[in-house]
Amino acid sequence: QTKAMTPPQVAARKGGTPLVCLTAYTTPMARLVDKHCDIALVGDSVGMVLHGLPSTLGVSLDMMILHGKAVRRGLEQALMVVDMPFGSYEEGPEQAFRNAARMVAETGCAAVKLEGSETMAQTIRFLTGRGIPVMAHVGLTPQAVNAFGGYGVQGRGEAGGRVLADAAAVAQAGAFSVVLEKVPEALARRITQEIAIPTIGIGASPACDGQVLVVDDMLGMFTDFRPKFVKRYGELGEAADAAIAAYAQEVRERRFPAAQHVFADAAMAVTGEKS
């Protein structure tokens, strides 16, 4: 694990070659992400993407730890970051540290991510000051879906100042990078210029210092909704649908299994002479 990307190395990429980040929730996907990306994020999007939950609000610390352990086994080079789920850090610095420490100890992740505005600055300082690097997340923060009343673009017009203040506060508090979700390009550019840590955008334009997507979204594997900011680099959902349909048909027609999938035992051959 010595050759793995570290939080300080990520921070040092400010303004340089864009940081490449994808989510991963399982060992095999982590292996693929590890090959090509700088950062593997075990996002709480796992609740919606793999568990069929209606939002990320029902995701537990235990779920994140389970997926974190699986992802850890698939990584060698990428920096592993795990999302702190809703309810596991908002009470205050002590609660956040207790749960983040458990996350680090049990999964082997190098950093945690938490959604947070200026309100979380004190908590971010508390964690970073005690050996737990923090990636922050501002703009559209999905755990606040009820407060926002949906998943709309954040920081348009006057509201941009709020998001800028949030980004500046988490940077000041010691976060090593910040996810900027679903904000207008001009705001993303301004934030990226004004804060000292890398911005990692999702629906936040190419002006950011890096990009992140939910891997199942960009693979066309999770298709419940299709946000404007997702580019489909694959159609794995369609490929899986076609493969499963073909299997079902061949089983029903007794075309699968075929001869090459079958184990012979001459001694038991019903038609042959028994020796």
Binding residues for Na ion, per CB under 5 A? 43-44, 83
- Closest Cα partner for 135 from 60, 228, 42, 217? 42
Nearer to ligand KIV, 62 or 241 (CB): 62
214 is an interface residue for ligand KIV by CB under 6 A: yes
Choose, by CB under 6 A, the member of 140, 175, 179, 219 that binds ligand KIV.
179
44 is an interface residue for ligand KIV by CB under 6 A: yes
Tell me if residue 171 falls in helix, strand or coil.
helix
Instruction: Determine the Cα–Cα distance for residues 74 and 82; give it in Å rounded to an integer.
Output: 14
179 binds, among ligand KIV, Na ion, none (CB under 5 to 8 A by kind): ligand KIV
The token pair at 242 is: 């076609």
Instruction: Determine the Cα–Cα distance for residues 214 and 21; give it in Å rounded to an integer.
Output: 9
Minimal distance, residue 88 CB to ligand KIV, in Å: 14
180 is an interface residue for ligand KIV by CB under 6 A: no
216 is an interface residue for ligand KIV by CB under 6 A: no
- Specify whether the CB–CB gap between 155 and 139 falls below 8 A: yes
Tell me if residue 181 falls in helix, strand or coil.
strand
- Please state the residue numbers annotated as binding site for Mg(2+): 44, 83, 115
What H or E segment, with its residue span, contains residue 138? strand 134-139
Instruction: Determine the Cα–Cα distance for residues 74 and 97; give it in Å rounded to an integer.
Output: 26
Choose, by CB under 6 A, the member of 75, 80, 121, 212 that binds ligand KIV.
212
Nearer to Na ion, 56 or 192 (CB): 56
Pick the stretch among 28-36, 39-47, 153-161, 263-271 that binds ligand KIV (CB under 6 A). 39-47
217 is an interface residue for ligand KIV by CB under 6 A: no
Q: Known catalytic residue: 181?
A: yes
Question: Of 181, 185, 235, 273, which one is the catalytic site residue?
Answer: 181
Whether the CA torsion 215, 171, 68, 34 is positive or negative: it is: positive
Query: Hey, which residues are catalytic here?
Result: 181
